[in-house]
Amino acid sequence: MKQCLIIGSAPMKDLSVFSKYDPKNSFIICADGGLDTAKAAKLLPNLVIGDFDSAKCEPPANVEVIRLQKEKDDTDMMSAVKEGIRRGFQSLVLFGAAGGREDHTYANYCALEYISSQGRQGEIVMDHTHIFIMTRGRMLLRQMKGATVSVFPFGTGMCSVTYRGMKYRLEEGVLVSNDPRGTSNVLINDDASITLHSGHAIIFVLDRV
């Protein structure tokens, strides 16, 4: 199995996003109420983890369950992320992680940064949007001409980035947390990239629709 799919409890309107991922080649973790989404999408989880304060259905028989205390330091999603990393997965894709409670959405951005800090690849997938955290290096955006990209500092006051293949150019440009000028760039080439020179950045990629 090459990747870990983690399903959280935030509402998901379009369950077809799961069709892009092969469940037979994925380890599926449901974080509490994400179990209801998995059931609606006809996905069988490998593991269910949480304090079960939001799941409406019971875990399927013969599926591994980790029950957490209600009073704890980590959110259910963060616990699922740590469990995926503990089991050795290098790629973690989070669903049902944005669009619900705003504080939980922000907490899941923090979970993305944690994934990156552990040397793993992570992203949040929601309707027509992919969210990433960069803490180093270069991100390639291939075969996505026409998509919209927004970049902001995350967890820091500034970040320095270079864009390639985008409408609005930036060469080691500084983005600061109190100025949202990183909003709504457009990919004009099939081969584009974002290079992070300093700081940490959160990146939103909106599919062509």
Q: Are residues 25 and 114 both part of a single domain?
A: yes
User: Of 75, 74, 112, which is closest to residue 91 (Cα–Cα)?
Assistant: 112
The helix (run of H) or strand (run of E) holding residue 38 is helix 34-40
Q: What is the mean pLDDT of residues 118-124?
A: 95
The single residue listed with the structure tokens 């004009």 is 188
Domains held by the chain: number: 2
CATH of residue 169's domain is 2.60.120.320
Q: What is the pLDDT of residues 65-96, one digit of tens each?
A: 998 888 788 999 999 999 999 999 999 999 99
pTM of the entire predicted model: 0.92
Half-sphere exposure of 204 (CA within 13 A, CB side): 18
Claim to verify: residue 197 and residue 142 sit in the same structural domain: yes
Contacts of 151 (CB under 8 A, 6+ apart): 159, 161, 175, 182, 185, 194, 201, 202, 203, 204
Which value, to the nearest 10 degrees, does the dihedral of the CA atoms of residues 69, 74, 77, 83 take? -90
197 and 153 in a common domain: yes
pLDDT band for 122, please (50, 70, 90 cuts): very high
Report pLDDT for 177: 96
pLDDT at 98: 92
User: Are 84 and 123 within one domain?
Assistant: yes
- Give the mean pLDDT of the chain: 93
Q: Does one domain contain both 166 and 110?
A: no
d(CA 15, CA 43): 11
Confidence of residue 102 (pLDDT cuts 50, 70, 90): very high
Q: 102, 127, 152 — which closes off a domain?
A: 127
Residue 60 structural domain: 3-127
Residue 26 shares a structural domain with residue 117: yes
Last residue within a domain, chosen from 127, 146, 168: 127
Given this model, what pLDDT does residue 58 score? 83
